[in-house]
Structure 1
Amino acid sequence: MKIAFHLLVHFSLLVLVSSYGGNGYDPLENALKIQRSRRTVSNHASKEDVTVENSYTPVYVGPQDGLKEADKISELPGQPAGTNFDQYSGYVTVDANHGRALFYYFAESLVNSSTNPLVLWLNGGPGCSSFGSGAMMELGPFRVNADGTTLSWNKYAWNNVANVLFLESPAGVGYSYSNTSSDYITDDIQTAKDSYTFLVNWLERFPEYKTRDFYITGESYAGHYIPQLAQLILQNNKITNQTVINLKGIALGNAYVDDETENAGMYDYFWTHAIISDEIHEGIISNCNFSEGATITDACNDYENQAFAAKSNVYFYDIYAPLCSPFSNSTPSISGFDPCTENYIYEYLNTPVVQQSLHAKPVQWESCNDFIGINWKDMPFTVLPVIQDLMASGISVWIYSGDTDGRVPVTTSRYDINKLQTPVKTPWYPWMYQGEVGGYVVGYDNLTFVTIRGAGHFVPSYQPGRALAFFTSFLEGKLPTDH
């Protein structure tokens, strides 16, 4: 009965989902519009709102005996011959009373898996899949072929240098679920708590990773998820007798962390990349105040609408990429990335034999659950104070940016860093990859900023080699120079 109820709720919610980055679909913008409409001058987020409570209640820890062995994937349908690393997937219960469980996929490192670090990857949305987008489209070991049934190697997969854990969070995203329908209306704080509970339980299931160096990476709205989870880990490491998580660093990719810089940076990027006219840009500059608590005027709204109309059908997750269409093959992507990839992933992850091999419940998988994003309860205006706390904690904090992304562009990341007011230690310089500029880097006090040249919002999709080079430098704690 519980399973039938779950399937009914899950299906009813997923009626409202769409493909992450699909033509004309933008889950982050949909969520932001709703949040902006809720804010008033007298009711806006403060630093206290984005700092997870210091009080500690021991988290739920369920029995894990035998579950690691049960989660081992014998073989993914259509995987290439010669797959020689262990992979696991399944569910970790984070609330037994509600029946709330988060789905994960774990790819152990191709070499040195017993010593390489453990890395958690999170996609954003809010409401988008870290497995479908992160693992199958970006940095995982496989890519789905155009037939929707077979896989090919991603030779630049991040499990070349780390053991990579992909988490579908919060419940309702991808294969993750709850038997309590109200759980699908959630927020930043609950998502951080559930992700922390997931990690504590997962490390009981995989105890050999308990003392391993641990990093968190991700992109987009994970610019909220990652700092808040990292802060919670550091707080609980001090005050709990449960597992101490050996957090060493975080890397935020094309990250939404501050609403003012997101707006200002996006429209400045549109203008400097010839997407909007001088007149529209000047109208936004003259009529819009994006600071916290400011009133958004009708004139500002009008110019913003003009900007989006002028953008037309440019795919602003990667402004130079072709759209997925019958004519896509005649206009190849500069990066070689197939713009129809998400269609192949959708077909593959909704194949019953694939879901069985993943130990996933039989549901209609979608890359994004729009219900979650539009019903998000609490979206702090900024998490920059949390990032400042993390910088002061001594862990490694990196911000990286694909420079052809118009959704959370490189201008936004630079404006974020300006607000952090941290001094430069190593001035801006180009880093090299295979004899060409891979991007640019600045070393700040307690912060590193890296660009990846020619990459859009989903950096490892568009520039997989440069992304792996950057990621390797991040793990080594060294500024990228030459790869």
Structure 2
Amino acid sequence: MIKLIATFCLLALFDFTNADIQADRLYELLKTKKSRNSPVSNTWSVSDEATNEYSPVYIASQDGLSELDKIVTLPGQPSGVDFNQYSGYVTVNPNAGRALFYYFVESPTDSSTKPLVLWLNGGPGCSSMIGAMAELGPFRINSDGKSLFKNDYAWSNVANMLFLESPAGVGFSYSNTTSDYDRSGDKNTADDAYIFILNWLERFPQYKTRDFYITGESYAGHYVPQLAYTILLNNKKTNQTVVNLKGIAIGNAWIDDETSQEGMYDYWWTHAVNSDATHAAILKYCDFANETSSEMCYKVTDKAWDEMGDIDIYNLYAPICLNTGLKNASGTGSINVFDPCWQYILETYLNDTVVQKALHVKPTSWDLCSGDTDARVPITASRYSINTLNLPIETAWRPWYLNKEVGGYLEAYKGLLLITVRGAGHTVPSYQPQRALTLFSSFLGGVLPPPS
């Protein structure tokens, strides 16, 4: 039984940058879903999944593959690395030639007793190497695009972190059957991720009985609970590996279109991004509960984006990247100062042939998203979504503290925790790494962050 479900949001800040491709992916998905001429297939349906029938999934021999996946060293990594890193491919469908890429970081201390945590980025279709290299992984990339510096607040300090690029076609993950890329959707994504986990646990059998958590952000508001549901459903029916799932956590989750869109546009208006007239028009012409929208709704929502101007939709008050050219900086970056040009830096590093060789990947052109903000998925939207559940409140809204300062706010419901991170944008660990680690540690421990 899952002991805790948590969703963490940002307070007062969002990611609104033209360079932030995760927002563009989600916006394009929403427009596609509302178009009568462009139906979205392979959508998630619990009723279709809830059956007592079970067909064993594909599991291959993984003997000796973990050692082959071990990373000797990442190009440009700092000295003194005291933990094991692994990366490579796990085949999830041999007939199609479909394989998913992972990057795994063991905790530098007591890795044999710490939990296993899966991280998924959103989009949909965005790489989890964003989380690994720009948010919560053990390293960040310097502005030269070649060297790394240590993240003192890496989540691997308290857990063994597994980053998965999913579905096939995202990042380094691929399929030899190109039509697979046109069949991606929530259901196939969850099914493939489940097959990945079972095979990965065969490759790393020491983690089979370990406490397992699923985390992610943005469109992972779909990926995370759907994968959790798939695991729990199959745990009841299979004589294969039972995944020891203990909890899920989602940052700035895009949960359902209706409440998320209402919350997004309400947030923009209350933070003086949109005019009164535009917000009133959105309320008049847009019915987010329906699968289609009127032409007037398209016009007024497009105007809302235009009114916003050239700012970072994922962090309203953060600087934007004004120079996409890499700096030939000799010094190392600071974990407390987030580089607004991180996307260009990350693309440069992961497209380096030496880096790709160290990661054991097929030579490829890596991109952040193949296939959100936070004014993109704001706290307003998360609160609207949670309110629809009508859950009893067990801990009333209160601040939580770190180093005698308010780190954010929380409200605990039966089976679910809503917690904000003060001063964070959409990718919470990027902007507030210490507060994000404190939140994550509390989540793993099943306790609330301190009230003072």
TM-score by length of 2: 0.90
Q: Do structure 1's residue 366 and structure 2's residue 373 form an aligned pair?
A: no
Q: Do structure 1's residue 475 and structure 2's residue 437 form an aligned pair?
A: no
Which one of 346, 361, 384 corresponds to residue 415 of structure 1?
A: 384
Aligned to 2:19: 23
- The residue correspondences of 1:49-88 to structure 2 (distance < 5 A) are 51=49, 54-88=52-86
Tell me the SS of whatever aligns to 2:135: helix
Query: What is the Cα deviation at residue 433 of structure 1?
Result: 1.2
Query: What is the Cα deviation at residue 24 of structure 1?
Result: 6.4
Could you say which structure has the greater relative contact order, defined with CA pairs below 8 angstroms and 6 or more residues apart?
2
Which one of 146, 156, 159 corresponds to residue 156 of structure 2?
A: 159
CA distance in 2 between partners of 1:82 and 1:471 (Å): 25
Which one of 232, 242, 246 corresponds to residue 244 of structure 1?
A: 242
Deviations 1:159-186 (A, max 9, x none): 0000000000000111101100011121
Residues 52 and 232 of structure 1 are in contact (CA less than 8 Å); yes or no, is this contact kept in structure 2? no
Query: What is the Cα deviation at residue 286 of structure 1?
Result: 2.1
Tell me: CA distance 1:57–1:463, structure 2 relative to 1, closer, same or farther (3 Å).
same
- The residue correspondences of 1:193-272 to structure 2 (distance < 5 A) are 193-272=191-270
Residues 85 and 104 of structure 2 are in contact (CA less than 8 Å); yes or no, is this contact kept in structure 1? yes
Deviations 1:393-429 (A, max 9, x none): xxxxxxxxx9x71111110000000111111111000
Tell me the SS of whatever aligns to 1:197: helix
Tell me the SS of whatever aligns to 1:443: strand
Residues 115 and 159 of structure 2 are in contact (CA less than 8 Å); yes or no, is this contact kept in structure 1? yes
Tell me: CA distance 1:102–1:351, structure 2 relative to 1, closer, same or farther (3 Å).
same
CA distance in 2 between partners of 1:256 and 1:221 (Å): 5
Query: What is the Cα deviation at residue 241 of structure 1?
Result: 0.5
CA distance in 2 between partners of 1:464 and 1:100 (Å): 34
Query: What is the Cα deviation at residue 261 of structure 1?
Result: 0.8
CA distance in 2 between partners of 1:416 and 1:459 (Å): 19
Query: What is the Cα deviation at residue 29 of structure 1?
Result: 0.6
- The residue correspondences of 1:39-438 to structure 2 (distance < 5 A) are 48=46, 51=49, 54-131=52-129, 133-185=130-182, 186-293=184-291, 295-326=292-323, 336-369=337-370, 372=371, 405-438=374-407
Tell me the SS of whatever aligns to 1:127: coil
Residues 320 and 334 of structure 1 are in contact (CA less than 8 Å); yes or no, is this contact kept in structure 2? no
Tell me: CA distance 1:143–1:415, structure 2 relative to 1, closer, same or farther (3 Å).
same
CA distance in 1 between partners of 2:343 and 2:101 (Å): 19
Query: What is the Cα deviation at residue 283 of structure 1?
Result: 1.4
User: What amino acid sits opposite 1:218 in the alignment?
Assistant: G
CA distance in 1 between partners of 2:210 and 2:383 (Å): 32
Tell me the SS of whatever aligns to 2:362: coil
CA distance in 2 between partners of 1:476 and 1:101 (Å): 33
Query: What is the Cα deviation at residue 53 of structure 1?
Result: 5.3
User: What amino acid sits opposite 2:264 in the alignment?
Assistant: M
Tell me the SS of whatever aligns to 1:164: strand
Residues 88 and 361 of structure 2 are in contact (CA less than 8 Å); yes or no, is this contact kept in structure 1? yes
CA distance in 2 between partners of 1:75 and 1:46 (Å): 40
Aligned to 2:409: 440
Tell me: CA distance 1:38–1:227, structure 2 relative to 1, closer, same or farther (3 Å).
farther
Tell me the SS of whatever aligns to 1:255: coil
Tell me: CA distance 1:78–1:272, structure 2 relative to 1, closer, same or farther (3 Å).
same
Query: What is the Cα deviation at residue 49 of structure 1?
Result: 6.0
Tell me: CA distance 1:49–1:340, structure 2 relative to 1, closer, same or farther (3 Å).
farther
CA distance in 2 between partners of 1:321 and 1:161 (Å): 29
Instruction: Say which is worse superposed, 254-263 or 153-162, in terms of deviation.
Output: 254-263
Aligned to 2:10: none
Query: What is the Cα deviation at residue 300 of structure 1?
Result: 2.1
Query: What is the Cα deviation at residue 50 of structure 1?
Result: 7.4
Unmatched 5+ stretches in structure 2: 1-15, 327-333
User: What amino acid sits opposite 2:340 in the alignment?
Assistant: P
User: What amino acid sits opposite 1:442 in the alignment?
Assistant: E
RMSD over aligned Cα, in angstroms? 2.4
Query: What is the Cα deviation at residue 284 of structure 1?
Result: 1.2
CA distance in 1 between partners of 2:74 and 2:20 (Å): 32
Residues 103 and 164 of structure 2 are in contact (CA less than 8 Å); yes or no, is this contact kept in structure 1? yes
Residues 71 and 86 of structure 2 are in contact (CA less than 8 Å); yes or no, is this contact kept in structure 1? yes
Tell me: CA distance 1:230–1:32, structure 2 relative to 1, closer, same or farther (3 Å).
same
User: What amino acid sits opposite 2:200 in the alignment?
Assistant: W
User: What amino acid sits opposite 2:96 in the alignment?
Assistant: H
Query: What is the Cα deviation at residue 462 of structure 1?
Result: 0.6
CA distance in 2 between partners of 1:251 and 1:459 (Å): 13
Residues 324 and 341 of structure 2 are in contact (CA less than 8 Å); yes or no, is this contact kept in structure 1? no
CA distance in 2 between partners of 1:142 and 1:193 (Å): 30
CA distance in 2 between partners of 1:105 and 1:53 (Å): 33
Tell me: CA distance 1:218–1:50, structure 2 relative to 1, closer, same or farther (3 Å).
farther
Instruction: Say which is worse superposed, 276-285 or 136-145, in terms of deviation.
Output: 276-285
Tell me: CA distance 1:339–1:115, structure 2 relative to 1, closer, same or farther (3 Å).
same
CA distance in 2 between partners of 1:469 and 1:102 (Å): 30
CA distance in 1 between partners of 2:57 and 2:44 (Å): 26
Residues 24 and 313 of structure 1 are in contact (CA less than 8 Å); yes or no, is this contact kept in structure 2? no
Deviations 1:340-367 (A, max 9, x none): 1111111111111110111011001111
Query: What is the Cα deviation at residue 328 of structure 1?
Result: 11
Tell me: CA distance 1:49–1:271, structure 2 relative to 1, closer, same or farther (3 Å).
farther
Tell me the SS of whatever aligns to 2:444: helix
Query: What is the Cα deviation at residue 51 of structure 1?
Result: 4.5
Tell me: CA distance 1:217–1:52, structure 2 relative to 1, closer, same or farther (3 Å).
farther
